[in-house]
Amino acid sequence: MGWVTDRGPSRAEIGACIQCGICVPHCPTFRLTGREDASPRGRLAAMAAVADGIAPLDGTFAEMLSFCLGCRACEVACPSLVPYGRLLEAAREEVAVANRTSVIRGAVWGRAINSSALLGLGSRVLAGAQSIGLLRLVPGGVGRSLRGVRSLAGRPRSRLGSTSEPTGPPLATVGLLTGCVMDEWFREVHEATVGLLQRAGYTVVAPAGQVCCGALAAHAGAGAEARRLAGRNLEAFADVDFVVANAAGCGAHLKEYERIVGTALPTVDVTEVVAAAIKSGRLPRYPESRGRVGVQDPCHLRNAQRIVREPRLVLAAAGYEPVTVDPSSMCCGAAGAWSLLHPAASAELGSRKAEEVAGIGVDVVASANPGCEMQLRSHLPAGVRIAHPVELYWEAVQQA
């Protein structure tokens, strides 16, 4: 049968895998199960079989792909530079089209999450549930994820202005990706981002026409919806010099727009631009006096964007001693909707990450991705604070 569209994984790129197995021990799902079909090598072999018409695009293949976190740790380890992440998304889109689920997935991951009215209503309901302790009654992965959300009850919600001027001579105009849940649940990260960019000399624009980056749609196999969202964002950010993202997964996806729709959107992670401003002297450094902070490396920051040094530089400039939570950088088990689709496996990975945090003995953990932060908070004791690196640095700036 093979692929059903011309967007299926390239047989040449699949064939770049030499089946050496170097990626296998880096794969979280293989380490959880010990199964070859839960490893990158096994999934690529299955893709090859489907592409060659040997195996069908059936439920077994779909479940094999679904169980992958998409953490892309295999890409870092691969000596053949197999582009596993984009092959996975392309194969998931083929499954969605073959099973006629792409329209449903697109509605859920695209249009629904872009509804400010729905997100606002959901956030108000969530804030009420937090205030009266109802979330502890919600079972399973949904309850665990919701318990990882920052406290929303009684928090003022000041909307971001469309333009924020720099405090000194302007260097450039940057667009801030406000995102979907970031804007509702992580507003403090946006406020820290805008404050630091202003001090570093940037005019910050948050275009009203922007939408979700499209990562969730792409990961779910809703390729058409992901491409639609990319087109909307390219229009919204057409007049800025570059875009700043403060969610690792969003930034990784924005940086792949050229592959997805043929047009690049210049994008940097906020830790990149803040670290550069610190190194150039446009933002200050403070004496090391705030103690140790655990650094959790989000998969889409470390593996997809290959950003490791910058968050640590930002934290050190704030006066912290950065300590890596997990030198092997195993996925925390959040992975967008994966924690809801595979709650038991997600809980196991989250528990392992919590044990690693406990092992280094810190009471503050820095994470640059909202899903990772929620996963950490849902597994760590209440006394451990989880915050974005730029939030911790912004606090140091404000307190100086």
Rg over CA atoms, the chain: 21
Please report the pLDDT score of residue 160 as a whole number: 63
Q: Are 195 and 397 in contact (CB under 8 A)?
A: yes
Please report the pLDDT score of residue 84 as a whole number: 98
Please report the pLDDT score of residue 129 as a whole number: 74
Confidence check: pLDDT of 110 > 70? no
Please report the pLDDT score of residue 286 as a whole number: 95
Q: What is the mean pLDDT of residues 374-386?
A: 94
Please report the pLDDT score of residue 122 as a whole number: 74
Q: What are the residues whose beta carbons fall under 8 Å from the beta carbon of 29, sequence distance 6 or more? A: 38, 39, 67, 68, 69, 345
Q: What is the mean pLDDT of residues 357-363?
A: 95
Q: What are the residues whose beta carbons fall under 8 Å from the beta carbon of 93, sequence distance 6 or more? A: 5, 7, 102, 221, 222, 223
Helix (H) or strand (E) holding 311: helix 309-317
Please report the pLDDT score of residue 368 as a whole number: 98
CA dihedral 297, 299, 300, 302 (to 10 degrees): 50
pTM of the model: 0.93
Least confident of 25-39, 53-67, 103-117, 285-299: 103-117
Least confident of 251-255, 302-306, 326-330: 326-330
pLDDT, tens digit, 9 for 90 and up, residues 128-142: 777 777 777 677 777
Please report the pLDDT score of residue 159 as a whole number: 55
d(Cα 377, Cα 400) in Å, to the nearest integer?
Answer: 28
Q: What is the mean pLDDT of residues 292-310?
A: 97
Please report the pLDDT score of residue 102 as a whole number: 55
